[in-house]
Amino acid sequence: MAHDTHDHGHHHHDGGHSELSETALRVKALESLLVEKGYVDPAALDELIDTYENRVGPRNGAQVVAHAWSNAAYMEKLRADATGAIADLGFIGRQGEHMVAVENTDDVHNMVVCTLCSCYPWPVLGLPPVWYKAPPYRSRAVSDPRGVLAEFGVRLPDAVGVKVWDSTAEVRYLVIPQRPSGTEGWSEEKLAGLVTRDSMIGTGLALTPEQVAS
């Protein structure tokens, strides 16, 4: 489901840095307790964390985007059959069975939310950030998308429309950010370094060469 809007607005939204720190501490404490009591194998836990943070994570999505930026034929396949195109690069798995790619243009900026729960494309983006699952984001992404984007530091020209895509158990979305200027001739590996997790959710933009250099 997509929602179009040209509305403006800005409300305070707590990014939850303290909440994230508290959660991280609780997870660490729970992990230590489980390991101490012999319920969890530390090596297996490390393997699981590495899988979702590195192999099954935003780096995968960044490779998809960089390949699409560099290869027009792949971009066309991504538009027509995102699930198949992503699988072509080896990124398949739970919550990635039904993918749709939505492409940012000069006229439209796409943003993804899951208003009912926290459906999220794990194979290409890894684990969802805390704010993605939080009720304030899930409600305001639809009602005040420009305000939400502004809080993430994204301020779009008035002429650019915002389209909000609501993920469901059946369909998950991957935003293809616009390729930054000044990247002509770059390798896919170098281009992938410009693609952030937030830019593939739509709450951010791809990094510029200047941002990477600084």
- Active-site residues, by number, are 114, 117-119
Residue 34 Cα to chain centre, angstroms: 31
Q: How far is CA 76 from CA 67, 70, 111, 154, in A?
A: 11, 12, 20, 27
- Is the CB of residue 118 less than 8 Å from the CB of residue 168? no
**Residue type at 78?**
L
**Residue type at 120?**
Y
Task: Determine the Cα angle at 23 with ends 196 and 197, to 5°.
Answer: 10
